Structure formats: C-alpha cells, structure tokens
Structure 1
Amino acid sequence: MSTETRTYREAVECLNTLQSNAATLEAVRAAGVRLNPNAIPEMIEYLQRIGYEPDHLNQLNVIHITGTKGKGSTSALTDSILRHVKPGWKVGLYTSPHLVAVRERIRINGKPISEEDFAKYFFEVWDRLKANDVRKDPDTTPSMPGYFRYMTLLAYHTFLRLKVDATILEVGIGGHSDSTNIVPKPVVAGVTALGLDHTSVLGKTLSDIAWQKGGIYKEGVPALTVNQPKEGMEVLTERAATLKASEFKVVSLLPGLSSIKLGLAGEHQVQNATLAVEMARIFLSAQGAIPAVTEPLPEAFVRGLENTKWPGRCQTVADPDPAHGSTTWYLDGAHTIESLDYCIQWFVHPGVGIPSASTATSERPLRVLVFNCTNGRSGTSFLGSVLAKTSAQLALYGSTETAEAFFDHAIFCNNVTYADGGFKSDLNSVGMSDADLKHLKTQKELAEAWKELVPAFPGESVHVLASIEDAVKIIRKLSPADRPASVLVTGSLHLVGGTIEVAGLSSVAL
C-alpha cells in the first residue's frame, strides 16, 4: 500500500502499538529504573535503519534543551524568538508530550504539522524500519522502537525532509540517555531549573539528575544553564568540562526582562525567558543572523517573548460556549511538587483565581479543583503541597479565605477521555493499569488523601470519576449561570489535554 493512501488515523493506530503497557512500566519501576547502557547505540541503529547517520542531524542546526522544570516553556520561548527575528526561516520545534493531537509534538513555524504530512512522513519511517530489519543484537533490540523513540525518529526525518533552518529539540526524559541526544554537534545546549522530580522517590539525588541533564553538553558547543542549587551546579560545571563544551555559562537576569509581559503566565517564566534569550542570541550569532552582542534587547526578541504560546501551562481559557460563558478554565499540567507550587502561585493570585482588589467580595467565584496524577506518586504530598501553597498565597495577599475552604469542589478523575471508557485515539494510553481503569484505585486514594488533609470538607463535594467527560458534565451542572466559575485542572498534562478535547476548548486553547 502506498503512503499516500494511508491516513492520519491509521498512523496514530500504528504508533499506539509501540506504547509500553502497564505491566511493563510497573516492572521497570519495581526494578528501580536502571539506565539502559545501550540506549544511545540502539537509537543510532534505528536512525541508520531509516537511512541516516548521526552527522546528518547536524544539518538541522539544533538548540538542545533539558531540565527538570521549564524545558517545554523554554523551548517554546526560544522558538518564538527565532521566528520573530527571522520570519523568513523555517523553524522546527520538537516537544513532548502532546495535549490533544500527537502531531503537536512536531511543529513548523509554531504550528503542528498537518495530518496529511504526519501520515506521509510517519509511514516513510515505518516502511523503512520494516524493510531494513537487520539488527546487531536481535535478542535485545526490538525490531520497532518504542513510542518516544519513534516520534523522535519521525521528527528528525520530518525536519530533514522539510529542510528546516533551525530546530529546537526538547529532551524527553533526563538527557544523557535520551533519544534526542544523538545529535553530534548542536549549535547550543541549555539546562533549565533542576529539582527533585518524581524520580526522587526511586532514590535519585539532585547530583544524579544533574549528571543526566548535563549529558546533552557536547565538545565545542556552548553549554548554558540558569542558577541552580549548589549540588546541581557543581555537577553541571564538571559535566561541561568533561564533555569539553566550548564554554559554560550561567545566565543572569537581563535588565528590563522582568518588565516585559511574557506570553506565558507565571513569575517563574522570567528565568526560562532569560535562558531562551541567551540561547537564541548565541544561535543567531553563530548563524550570522545578528551581532554577537545585542544591547538593549532587540525589538524582535521582545515581540517573540510577548507572543509566545504554550498551551496547557498556566493557561487561562474562557469557555467559548455561550451556555457556559461564566466558566473560566485554568489549565496547568504541573506533575511534580515544585511545578504544582508554581501552578498554585499563579492561580491563587488577584485577578486569576481570586478576585482582584477592585472586585466585590460577593463575586467570589465557584472554584473547582480537577486533579489526577500518575499511579505510584504520593497523593498526600501532592495535595498537601497544593493546600500549603494556597494558604501561603492567601496570606501573602491578605485574604480572609482559608486554604481548606478555597475550593468548593474537588474532582479526582481518570485520564480516560470519554464516559464510555474510550479514548480519543491521540490520547489513548495502554500504560494505565486495570486497577485504575476499572476500580479507580489512584483516584480513590487521592480522594481519601484530600479528606484526611481537609476533614471539614463536605463529603458530597469530593467526586471520584471514571473519565474526563464525567468530570466536565459535573462541572457544567455545578456552574451557576449567575456566578462565575473558576476551574483549575492540574496534576497531569494528559488530564489537561483531555479536558481541552471534551470541554470543546480547542478553538481557543490550542
């Protein structure tokens, strides 16, 4: 069958067969997540099977970005700067995960590639892998790469076919062993803020994390980072020296940057913007597009920062349906304790989740928390963090409200898209265990944790639901027509993406 006759839906169905199932993921977690020492050689072998050598990837002119927090936002900021400075360029952006459609992961000039192009390039890669199945070690290397590896190969292939002028590559997990880390010589590499994410429960230390992230530094390539905890900074400094980076630079806040109204909400974005500006400067200078020193910040840089869009991250969306026009959705895929702190810092703020000083007290909105997290993470610590930060924010702004009564309803729902148990094909996940799908194990644990943390919270206001569609239906019923409703959806990007899909927010959110 020719590639032209195969559809986007067929491509997504094939891609979903490459996901790891729940049993496999649980076995990996139980083993303590040991790094695959052959991860990079295997990825190179897959690349060669589709007709490329690693050196070919240097043609993509890569900006490589990793970190615990802010790597996606920094990638989006950098992408926007390049597009505003060089509007005639073709700029590729590769990120993960996606919110609603998998093709969001591969963007050209800020827009996801079309369904037609996705299917075309997808099956070109698929057919090459099927036709060239000679492996150095068939016993240990699967014939087909896993989901993320495949998507990375597809991004490389797409960008090479389209002859992009610049590529921003966001690391998937870690850095050293990540599928994106086979580009021999990026133009610049940057590490965003480090922290103990959910891997820390498996015995990871900040030094371990820094070692992984610093693995994207390359010989002869500028290595950048932001201010880090001492333990992490020491490791990054050592990694840059060991890997022979051309320079190691800790970026500092640029004068005037904090006065720019960034396209991304949240005070933490200033640090991400600082790194994005410096990486863009180095990249554009290396390409001969701008002078090495540009002071003050060029107007095109400012426009790029102001016009950056990154859906599902500290995003405010007014419901486009006139019937629900009093509902405002606050979407943030925060999935670590530190990112949840940033989320609550943004949401519990005058003019966002709490009335501004000029708003009458009687107009306090109905507030709904919609939350989910990956099985195995501690609901008590996650939700405890939400409550503690809420309390701190309320005190900061002199509010008489309490954290315990801040939300009127708490909804804990699965990431299943539809009430009939089905998924939108782009959002299908075989990594969810039967216990979660059938018995809502994680959601019940979250509800119990919430009740323990807030014993006075009305029991009828805690909802354990089987799908995102069920959650949206409940919210529609709860939201009064004569009172504004503020809905915070957080804890999982998959949850945010499903909400955008089911609530009909795509036209305004994406």
Structure 2
Amino acid sequence: MSTRSYQDAVEHLNSLQSNAATLEAVRASGGRLSEFAIPEMLEYLDRIGYTPSQLNALNVIHITGTKGKGSTSAFTESIIRHSKPEWKTGQLRSIFTVMTSLRVSFRINGVPISESDFAKYFFEIWDRLVANQSPGKVPTTPPMPGYFRFITLMAFHVFLELKVDATILEVGVGGAYDSTNIVPSPVVTGITALGIDHVFVLGKTISEIAWQKGGIFKKGVPAITVPQPIDAMKVLESRAEELKASKLSVVPDNSELSALKLGLAGSHQVQNAILAVELARSFLEKQTGVAQDPVIPTTFKTGLVKTRWPGRCQTVVDPKRTGFTWYLDGAHTVESLECCMQWFVNPDVGVPPQKAAHSSTASTRILIFNCTSGRSGESFLGKMIQTMRLRLALHEREKDAVLFDHVIFCTNVTYADGHFKSDLTTKAIADSDLTELKTQQALASAWSSLVPSYPKSHIHVLPSIEHAIKEVENIRSTTNDHVQTLVTGSLHLVGGVIEVAGLSNVAL
C-alpha cells in the first residue's frame, strides 16, 4: 500500500520514464510522433479536470531557446518578485535542469515546494489520471502520460491551486510540440539564443530549430527574442506572422547591464539578463497597465543581482574538506562548455593571476566530466581545451597549456553500488553503456588524442560519481596542494556531486 510520501511519489514518477530503446524509436520516427503531442496533452489536461482557458489565469511568461533559457527564466522570475513583492510567483524549471531533487523544479516565490507538498499535489494528479482512463478523442493517447508530461500537468495544478500572480514557464524540449505549449494566451513569449551546436546534436537545420521554437508564439501575444542567425530570424519572423503574434521584438544591447554584477556568473549571462528585462517589462506593462520607464528600475537591478541558480558557473568552498573548492557548471553543449571555460580560466575563479602563480599555496586542478551518450565527446573536449589554451594565453599563463593535473570521466550513476539517488534516476541510458563505460572510455580516448603528451595514469575512467569523489580525495591525500575541481558536462553529474560530496547546504 502506498505510503503517499515524497519518496513514493518519486518512485511512481520514475515508472513513467521512457527507456533508451523507446527514446531511440522516437528519434528514428523523425519527429512524426510529435504530431500527437499537443492533442494528447490536451486530453490529459481534460482528464485531470481543467480546460485550456483556465491556464490563462496563470499569467504565463513562456520561454524557449537552445541555450540560456534556464538562466533567462531565473532572471525574469527574480525581477518580477523584487518588483512586485506583494505578488506570488510560480516557476517551472525544465526537468532537464534538475540536479538534486525533483521538487526544485516547482518554485513559489523563488523557493522550491516542500517534499510534503510535492507528494500531496503529485498524488492528486496521479489519482485523477488513474480514475479517468476512458478512451478519449485521440486514440494514440496512452493510459498515463510520460514523465515530462506529468511534471507539466502537475505544475499547472500546483500553480492554479496556489493562485500565483505570475508563472515563468520554461519549455522542456523544442517548443511547438512541447508539453508546456497548451496555454492559449500567455502574457508574453521569449526566445533565447538558438545555438548552432544543437544543429549537429539534433540533426536539424537552424531553420528547423527556429520553426520549433517559434511554435510558442500565440495570437495577440508579444514575442521577444535575442539577435539570432539570419536564417533563424527569418523563420521566427514568418512564424510570428503565421501564428499572429502581436509583434516580434529583438532586444537591444544594454551597456548598463554589462557593468552590473549579475547574480549568475559569466559574461554570456548579459544577453540572458537583457532578454529577462524586456520580458519582465512587457509583462508588468500588461498586468499593471502602467508604462515602464525605459531606464532600468532599481528593483529590476536588484532582481538581477540577487538571481540564484545552483550549478551554473558556481564556486563552492567545501564546508567539510579542508583545501577543497568545487566549481560547478552543468554546461552540456559545445557553446555552453566554451562559456564554462571562459568563466573558469579566469584570475577571479580557477586560475590565480600571474603574480600569484608562484605563491606558497599551490593548486592541483581536477576535471570531472561526463556527457550524454551519442554526443561527440571529442568535439566537446576539443572546444574546452581550445578555449582553455586561449584563455591561458590571454592571462600570460601559456606554460599551463594543460590546466588540469587529473581528468576523471565517470557515469552519472550516483553511488558506488550502482544505484542512482531516486530523484536522479534515469532510464534513458542503455544498460550496456553503463556496464561497459562506453561513453567514458570514448571520452578518455578523445582526451588522449587531443593531448597526446598527457600522462595516461592521470586519466581516470570510473563507474559512478561516488567513485569520482573518492578519487579526488585520494589525489588530495598525496599532496598538500589546494584542490580545485571543475565539474561540468551534465547537470545530473553536477547534482550527483553535490549529493555525494555533501555540498547541499552551501550549494543549493
């Protein structure tokens, strides 16, 4: 009998995950299965007792893009919360950004809902779906929704029950066929940068990606985007006209924000902050009926400075291990990994300035890396190494051409006994890949190819995150150096390190 606990809710939710074979079948379909996504999602919405028009009460800011949409969502929510402290904000963060706990995807006034609330709302939706499985108008609709659809349905329910004044809704995948794309009339829609690296990862042209992302445009609703590649911009303009958006605006440059110390580190965050400012400005004008000052208000700046998002260009001093500093960035595309290295290889972050290079406090630098099976590890690592060397030359540190003393390639499996933390469980990786460490072996081979002189004994291929943490501790035990460890390539990897290393109290 179900205990109706948070853990029980997580186990029920994990039962809805698609396995690796199913995901491969979807990819092999060439996207044809996506055509049923919105009709099926609407059928599930009806089964839990809501109509699409009721979702308009959520006052949605809908955000998509291939990079930066999580940061933009975080900036936007913080701006609105600090501008209107009497309002209640709701935010659904993409499940792909979940690092340590599923409940952090659901935020009220910037704070994750509690485990007890998660369990309560989860089973309210679960029970409605189980009780109402009669065949509907769409014959392809499975009896229960998949993992990501369920999360979206639950978010709608939570935010309606709590009567939020503003909902920041982050697209999970794509746009047109995403499970979040059933709100008839959001207040404003936004598109972050359309990264060229996704063209290769997804096997689509930039125009096809833009068509998908532009699918969130709605009739009579303003749309805002950052500058895009020419072909992508043409498609977005066409989609805005096709879907009858009230207007499509491109955000201007803003030198004022470039000088502001944003709450999220990295120079690449400036563009995300500019988009967030314009989304918040449009939203507040519509909701209050008051024209916004073209000068950025102090409340907006406060929101940008106080924005927090764990696992993005984040420095964490280990509270329990003396001489350990962790650098956490869930970058998982070629472009975001380039941004990660631009952040880390910096005198203010992972590399001391030249004058301090020979100080008495030496550092041992370690890279812990993983990426999703099927992506090109060589291109990922190649871009990281190239950016690292350029940054070292910029800071007159060419002698440190290979910055890391050790590199560790491990799976996203949380514990040494082969188990995942329940919130981080994934069925999307084939068992054979995990057992044989295929991805990790390929990464190690790629690293050796890219840096032929690198000592093989300093390249570690390990089966779990717990193994990786123990290896870092072993390296520290052989030296008195301060250990600086960069963790990147996967948000699940970052979340697992936070969990196993016991960093939750300071990192989250």
Establish whether TM, by shorter chain, passes 0.5: yes
Residue of structure 1 equivalent to 2:22: 24
Cα deviation, residue 242, structure 1: 1.2
Cα deviation, residue 29, structure 1: 3.3
Cα deviation, residue 436, structure 1: 2.0
Q: Is the aligned partner of 1:270 residue 2:270? A: yes
SS of structure 2 residue aligned to 1:209: helix
Residue of structure 1 equivalent to 2:187: 187
Cα distance change on mapping 1:371 and 1:398 into 2, 3 Å: same
C-alpha deviations, 1:5-57, integer Å up to 9, x for none? 51101000000000001221233334444452111111010001000011010
Residue of structure 1 equivalent to 2:124: 124
Cα deviation, residue 429, structure 1: 1.0
Residue of structure 2 equivalent to 1:284: 284
Q: Is the aligned partner of 1:471 residue 2:468? A: yes
- Of stretches 472-481 and 18-27 in structure 1, the one that deviates more from structure 2 is 472-481
Aligned AA for 1:170?
E
SS of structure 2 residue aligned to 1:184: coil
Aligned AA for 1:23?
A
Q: What TM-score do you get using the length of structure 2 for normalisation?
A: 0.96
C-alpha deviations, 1:146-183, integer Å up to 9, x for none? 00000000000000011001000000011010000000
Residue of structure 1 equivalent to 2:451: 454
Residue of structure 2 equivalent to 1:161: 161
C-alpha deviations, 1:91-123, integer Å up to 9, x for none? 000012211000111110111100111000000
SS of structure 1 residue aligned to 2:238: helix
Aligned AA for 2:316?
V
Cα deviation, residue 137, structure 1: 5.9
> In the aligned structure 2, how far is the partner of 1:482 from the partner of 1:275?
45
Aligned AA for 1:48?
D
> In the aligned structure 1, how far is the partner of 2:115 from the partner of 2:45?
23
Cα deviation, residue 387, structure 1: 0.8
The answer to whether the 8 A contact 1:355-1:364 is kept is no
Q: Is the aligned partner of 1:101 residue 2:90? A: no
Residue of structure 2 equivalent to 1:214: 214
Aligned AA for 2:503?
L
Query: Which of 49, 60, 73 in structure 2 is aligned with 1:51?
Result: 49
Cα distance change on mapping 1:78 and 1:431 into 2, 3 Å: same
Could you list the runs of 5+ residues in structure 2 that have no partner in the other structure?
none
Residue of structure 1 equivalent to 2:252: 252
> In the aligned structure 1, how far is the partner of 2:32 from the partner of 2:461?
34
SS of structure 1 residue aligned to 2:117: helix
Residue of structure 2 equivalent to 1:299: 298
> In the aligned structure 1, how far is the partner of 2:301 from the partner of 2:411?
40
Cα distance change on mapping 1:358 and 1:300 into 2, 3 Å: farther
The answer to whether the 8 A contact 1:78-1:280 is kept is yes
Structure 1 residue ranges, 4+ long, deviating more than 3 angstroms after superposition: 29-35
Q: Is the aligned partner of 1:9 residue 2:10? A: no
- Of stretches 198-207 and 167-176 in structure 1, the one that deviates more from structure 2 is 198-207
1:486-497 map, 5 Å = 486-497=484-495
> In the aligned structure 1, how far is the partner of 2:112 from the partner of 2:6?
13
C-alpha deviations, 1:234-269, integer Å up to 9, x for none? 111111111111111001122411111000000010
C-alpha deviations, 1:109-150, integer Å up to 9, x for none? 111100111000000000000111123367522111000000
1:197-212 map, 5 Å = 197-198=197-198, 200-212=200-212
> In the aligned structure 2, how far is the partner of 1:45 from the partner of 1:245?
25
Aligned length, in residue pairs: 504
The answer to whether the 8 A contact 2:199-2:206 is kept is no
C-alpha deviations, 1:203-252, integer Å up to 9, x for none? 30110111111111111001000011111111111111111111110011
Q: What TM-score do you get using the length of structure 1 for normalisation?
A: 0.96
The answer to whether the 8 A contact 1:198-1:377 is kept is no
SS of structure 2 residue aligned to 1:256: helix
C-alpha deviations, 1:412-453, integer Å up to 9, x for none? 000000000011110111112112221111111111111111
SS of structure 2 residue aligned to 1:224: strand
Cα deviation, residue 199, structure 1: 5.4
Residue of structure 2 equivalent to 1:434: 431
Residue of structure 1 equivalent to 2:89: 91
C-alpha deviations, 1:352-402, integer Å up to 9, x for none? 111024524344521111110111111111111111111111122222234
RMSD after superposition: 1.6
SS of structure 2 residue aligned to 1:219: coil
> In the aligned structure 1, how far is the partner of 2:319 from the partner of 2:313?
18
Residue of structure 2 equivalent to 1:318: 317
Aligned AA for 1:72?
G
SS of structure 2 residue aligned to 1:93: strand
> In the aligned structure 2, how far is the partner of 1:325 from the partner of 1:87?
40
> In the aligned structure 2, how far is the partner of 1:264 from the partner of 1:487?
19
> In the aligned structure 1, how far is the partner of 2:233 from the partner of 2:362?
44
Residue of structure 2 equivalent to 1:149: 149
> In the aligned structure 2, how far is the partner of 1:35 from the partner of 1:73?
30
The answer to whether the 8 A contact 1:102-1:426 is kept is yes
> In the aligned structure 1, how far is the partner of 2:489 from the partner of 2:104?
20
> In the aligned structure 1, how far is the partner of 2:164 from the partner of 2:99?
24
Residue of structure 2 equivalent to 1:347: 344
SS of structure 2 residue aligned to 1:36: helix
> In the aligned structure 1, how far is the partner of 2:213 from the partner of 2:316?
33
Cα deviation, residue 477, structure 1: 1.5
1:40-79 map, 5 Å = 40-79=38-77
Residue of structure 1 equivalent to 2:37: 39
The answer to whether the 8 A contact 1:414-1:436 is kept is no
Cα distance change on mapping 1:250 and 1:138 into 2, 3 Å: closer
